[in-house]
Amino acid sequence: MRNEGEAVSLVLASLDADFMMDLTQGLQEHPQIKVIGFAQNGSAAIDRASKMAADAVLTEYALTDITANEMAKRLAEESPGTLVFAISENITAQLVQSAKAVGVKEIFPKNGFSAKETANRIAQMVDEQRREWSEVARTHGAVEKGTGPRGQKIKTEYVTRAITQSVIMTYNIKGGVGKTTIAVNLATAIKMSPYLSGQRVVLVDFDCGGSNVRLHCGLNDNECYNRNLSIWQYVEEGRTTAADMDDLLLDGPLGIKVLPAPMSKKEAEKINNNMELCEKVLRVLKKYFGIIVIDCAPNLSPMTDVAMDHATHILLIANPEGQAVKKLSELTLLLRKDEDNPDKPDMSHLLRKMRIVLNHKQPETKWDLKPSEIAENVGVPVFAEIPYSESVLRALHDNRCKQAVEIDGGSPFAVAIKQMANDLTGAYPEAVGGERSKRGGLFGKFFKKR
């Protein structure tokens, strides 16, 4: 077995030979990946992988003779240590769960497939396995290929919710309520999900006045100067490829792609009012990403209008205090139909996408408004309640670029963010009907009875 960081040998399996050629070219740009064999059906792939002792197979989920699940089971017998990765056009939580239960390491979406991200993930997981095996060899003596540790116990209950594209925006006309904090942590929690880690996630900074996403993600200023929303003026829609996304976007936490806002005030103003450009950005990103999280500015602008139009979920971030709630009530009133004023445009289709996220950016006080009061005032349901957490401040001040949700995965803050990630995208199905329904348990720590 090779050591960490050394070459990763890969067998590709697909009926489509052209696709495999393109794939090879893209994957081999990664310094570790070496494609050592092709196969157009499952039995040939298994044969090649075992004879060549490949580190991994990347296969279409469904080949003519077998699926990736069966391939994983057979390779566990015939070539233990060869990891199986799959590509699928049609990913559901059930598919991912059943595949991972039998040892498929990851399923990547075929729509908007990124060779770079896939290569990174395969190399990372092969290296992880090498590390694990060398650790075992160190403590228990030499390990022959195939006698090392197998994956941990995996639950086999299935969740049938399909993974559909989500465009989630965080919003409030009031500043400083936690829009960026929630957007960044939510994107991170989705990418941390064992079911969605293969999905492509992009975090978009539509706050041209603030451009704070880069600070939360610890991005390099120079890179943000060079690659931000401004350069999308030159993007020719219709001629973009998944590889272009790697050039146009920056790398954020855990392989999340980030599109920062412009850094100069003049550029920022130009973009903020350029509805056509904002439309183009979201149309293109929707082609390549399953999950899009947009951090919006505390204003009503053409940019916000575009985001609201494309959003599948508009998260209204509120603090339990009068000002933040009043601003939201004004907004929802503006959107509501007025029977007495037929000329007022009816924007209730936007209202239907709105949910309140009650964010405690300060420790609770006796003057805090209750969720029911907030929901009544704004006329929109409270969807999640995020507790105050010092790890939010630690994440901002630490240079390790870890998000609060990563720092302590079991903290009430992290649990609340993951719960919200699940409600939006199905990222943590174990939480549904389990701990959550028994609010006295894990979630009961902060879901107080009101």
| Part in contact with ligand ATP (CB under 6 A); list of ranges 171-179, 220-228, 330-338, 429-437 | 171-179
Q: What's the CA gap between 131 and 137, in Å, rounded?
A: 10
- The per-residue b/e assignment along 299-327, b for 16 or more CB within 10 angstroms, e otherwise, is eebbbbebbbebbebbbbbbbbbeebbeb
Q: Is the dihedral of CA 334, 284, 427, 416 positive or negative?
A: negative
Beta strands, E only, 297-333:
313-318
Considering beta carbons, is residue 37 or 178 the nearer one to ligand ATP?
178
177 binds, among Mg ion, ligand ATP, none (CB under 5 to 8 A by kind): ligand ATP
Per CB under 6 A, 168 contacts ligand ATP: no
Q: Using CB under 6 A, pick the residue from 30, 38, 94, 175 that binds ligand ATP.
A: 175
Residues 370-429 that bind ligand ATP (CB under 6 A): 386, 388-389, 392-393, 396
Among 170, 197, 212, 422, binds Mg ion (CB under 5 A): 212
**Smallest distance from ligand ATP to CB 176, Å:** 4
179 contacts Mg ion (rule: CB under 5 A): yes
232: CB partners within 8 A, 6+ apart: 248, 277, 280, 281, 284
In the numeric block, the tokens 């942590």 are attached to 185
Of 66-85, binders to Mg ion (CB under 5 A) are none
Among 100, 361, 418, 436, which residue interacts with ligand ATP (rule: CB under 6 A)?
361
Least distance from Mg ion to the Cβ atom of residue 319, Å: 13
Q: Does 327 bind ligand ATP (CB under 6 A)?
A: no
> Exposure pattern of 358-372 as b/e (b: 16+ CB <10 Å)?
bbbbeeeeeebbebe
Whether 75 and 66 have beta carbons less than 8 Å apart is answered as no
C-alpha 89/C-alpha 42 separation (Å) is: 18
Q: Which of residues 249-308 bind ligand ATP (CB under 6 A)?
A: 298
Candidates 10, 20, 177, 217; binder of ligand ATP (CB under 6 A) is: 177
What are the beta bridge partners of residue 206?
A: 296
Other CB atoms within 10 Å distance of the CB of residue 173? 19
Q: Phi/psi of residue 219, each to 5°?
A: -80, 155
201 vs 414, beta carbon nearer ligand ATP: 414
Task: Rank residues 56 and 316 by Cβ distance to ligand ATP and give the closer one.
Answer: 316
Q: How far apart are CA 325 and CA 191, in angstroms?
A: 30
CB of residue 15 to ligand ATP, shortest distance in Å: 47
CB closer to Mg ion, 313 vs 436: 313
Q: Should residue 180 be labelled a site residue for ligand ATP when binding is judged by CB under 6 A?
A: yes
Question: According to CB under 6 A, which one of 48, 105, 179, 257 is a site residue for ligand ATP?
Answer: 179
Parallel, antiparallel, or unpaired for β 8-13 and 56-60? Answer: parallel
178 in contact with ligand ATP (CB under 6 A): yes
Contacting residues toward Mg ion, per CB under 5 A = 179-180, 210, 212
Using CB under 6 A as the criterion, which residues of the chain lie in contact with ligand ATP when the complex forms? 175-181, 207, 210, 212, 298, 359-361, 386, 388-389, 392-393, 396
